[in-house]
Amino acid sequence: MPEQRSAEPARAPRVGAWVALDAPIATEQIARAGFDYVCVDGQHGVIGYDAQVRALLAVAAGGAEPWARVSTNSAAEIGRVLDAGARGVIVPLIDTAAEARAAAEAARYPTSGGRRSYGPMRLGPHFGATPEETDASVTVLAMIETASGLAELDSILDVEGVDGVYVGPYDLSLALGARVPFEDAIVPRLDAELDRIAAACRERGKIAGVHCADGEQAARRIEQGFTMVTAATDVSSLRADMQRQLAAATGSRLGAARAY
């Protein structure tokens, strides 16, 4: 596997956006807003592979770094989103070091100790002159969102080729015992675990990523030590702004969103 990159966490924290809708023009505009990266959600969004390709092209056209979350820890799926132009991959539901190692190997070619199949469909700026050069520009984050993954945090971070972790706080709060995400009773423990995750990443010079509900929460996570924060999601941002505009037009405090 390639040598671990330790420079990333020393840079200013990276702030990104998240897209879950098959709307390439909107995705391009989000990428033009100034975010460092835009991640295309292939797990919980309504985006299949064809739509992922369109979205990754739109992100690149907008000038942000294209990322993708795959739906599962599958070598085939990881390879396909990289072939489509993703520079970073977020792999969900990582419970063990062995699973993290499989994800890292799926994202790198055999010349770097991985098992990614060579198929440069989009041969261009995100492909190096050699497979090893391409591997050097790929970032792999293991999602920490389960009790098992949390317990195995240190061993997951120590896997060669894993560049850091990305916390899914909704699932993690449920894994910690909440009945609904971010239940008040669980928030102190969740914050303590987030502190621990950020510290473990910092000790190893790896990326500490986290999904955030909004920009205010993202700012708090940066203060907490996270170096890669997703500050906005297309669906929630669209809904929130539409409600704000409706409230402004009608003079009401909040627009009442329909539940269908």
pLDDT in tens, the chain (260 residues): 544 444 344 578 999 999 999 999 999 999 999 999 999 999 998 999 999 999 999 999 999 999 999 999 999 999 999 999 999 999 999 999 999 999 999 999 999 999 999 988 877 777 888 999 999 999 999 999 999 999 999 999 999 999 999 999 999 999 999 999 999 999 999 999 999 999 999 999 999 999 999 999 999 999 999 999 999 999 999 999 999 999 999 987 655 554 33
* 44 included as an active-site residue: yes
Which residues touch 244 (CB under 8 Å, ≥6 apart)?
255
Counts of helices then strands in the chain (DSSP H, E): 11, 8
Q: Which of 32, 44, 202, 220 is catalytic?
A: 44
Partners of 191 in the β-ladder: none
pTM to 2 decimal places: 0.91
Residue carrying the six token digits 């990754």? 56
